[in-house]
Amino acid sequence: MSQSSNLPAQVSIFEVGARDGLQNEKPVSTQNKIRLIDDLAKAGVKRIEAGSFVSPKWVPQMADSMDVIQEMPRAKGVVYSALTPNMKGFELALASGIDEVAIFGAASESFSQKNINCSIEESIARFQPLMEAAQKANIKVRGYVSCVLGCPYEGHIESTAVAHVADVLHQMGCYEISLGDTIGIGTPINARRMVETVASKVPVEQLALHFHDTYGQALPNILACLETGVSVIDASVAGLGGCPYAKGASGNVATEDVVYMLHGMGVSTGIDLHLLAQAGHRISTALGRSSGSKVAQAIGHESAAL
């Protein structure tokens, strides 16, 4: 039972470390990625983003996504996902056997150009045939909106612009819209107002929070937004990552930190925090760095080598 009637009793964690995290770290082996995904599933994570079918020239770290997805063990009850920016990406994703895909747009014109080489309007046109193909293939599609609280190139972004893109993706058939604070610039009251504005267009049950922790604001922002009724949180184990097209952006909020905060407030996630921290330590070791999660650091490196 959650300790506040304003909080959901349960939160679904959407783990993005193997994609959003590793796309912006130095390359690790395919086997290390597979091990990470398996570790996450064993820790009780039920939604795992496993890779990305984007141009290997743009994001070389994701070039082995086909191998990762085809070789990774599939845990029962876990949904595995991959990013697909266009039809080429979708066809590869379909061939990989992934469970669901995600399209990704932005609320900022400049970020859209830098990230996917087209305007917001052109991106929507690119997504249309993908949505139709996904519907035919019975594949669910998630939608991302980047720069929901600010853009590295344009600065302030109006929440109404976020709501507009979220609404378009939702109307195109995305089952969930993930709101990305790509550069982690938001603060709690602004974040909450942004979610409320988007929720006037897209049902709050179909929204997810995707907050980077660049300014150390991700946890307070999440807490403020949970009180609007959102109950899906994207997070990256060990705080892996950043964004290749948002210079200086640090990783997503660390999954361990989110899970610790939620469990401490009586909100369940179904995740074993110690196994999760171990997963984070193992991939951090493979990257030659320490975990970016404060909670994982506090728990310590016990059993990291198991």
Ligand X SMILES: CC(C)(COP(=O)([O-])OP(=O)([O-])OC[C@H]1O[C@@H](n2cnc3c(N)ncnc32)[C@H](O)[C@@H]1OP(=O)([O-])[O-])[C@@H](O)C(=O)NCCC(=O)NCCSC(=O)C[C@@](C)(O)CC(=O)[O-]
- Would you please indicate which residues are annotated as catalytic (active-site) residues? 243
Binders in 249-288 for ligand X, by CB under 6 A: none
Question: How many residues form the binding site for ligand X (CB under 6 A)?
Answer: 25
Minimum CB distance to ligand X, residue 279 (Å): 20
DSSP class of residue 62 equals G
d(CA 238, CA 246): 20
Does 113 help bind ligand X (rule: CB under 6 A)?
A: no
Whole-number Cα distances in Å, 273 to 20, 49, 300: 21, 19, 12
What residues have CB less than 8 Å from 1, skipping those under 6 apart?
Answer: 9, 266
Minimum CB distance to ligand X, residue 41 (Å): 21
d(CA 24, CA 58): 11
Give strand pairing partners of 232: 12
* Choice between 27 and 270, CB closer to ligand X: 27
d(CA 202, CA 58): 31
Binders in 80-109 for ligand X, by CB under 6 A: 83, 85-86, 88-89, 104
Minimum CB distance to ligand X, residue 95 (Å): 12
Binders in 20-79 for ligand X, by CB under 6 A: 20, 23, 52-55, 58-59
Give CA 40 to chain center in angstroms. Answer: 14
Which range touches ligand X (CB under 6 A), out of 110-118, 134-142, 161-169, 221-229? Answer: 110-118
d(CA 46, CA 235): 13
* Choice between 39 and 181, CB closer to ligand X: 181
Q: Is 58 helix (H, G, I), strand (E, B) or coil?
A: coil
Q: Which of 147, 139, 140 is nearest to 123 (CA)?
A: 147
Residue 38: is it exposed, middle or buried by C-beta count within 10 angstroms (0-12/13-18/19+)?
A: middle
Binding test (CB under 6 A) with ligand X, winner from 210, 258, 276, 277: 210
Minimum CB distance to ligand X, residue 162 (Å): 11
Does 14 help bind ligand X (rule: CB under 6 A)?
A: no
d(CA 114, CA 112): 6
Binders in 215-254 for ligand X, by CB under 6 A: 243-245
Which range touches ligand X (CB under 6 A), out of 111-119, 130-138, 168-176, 290-298? Answer: 111-119
Does 115 help bind ligand X (rule: CB under 6 A)?
A: yes
Binding site for ligand X (CB under 6 A): 20, 23, 52-55, 58-59, 83, 85-86, 88-89, 104, 115-117, 144, 146, 180, 182, 210, 243-245
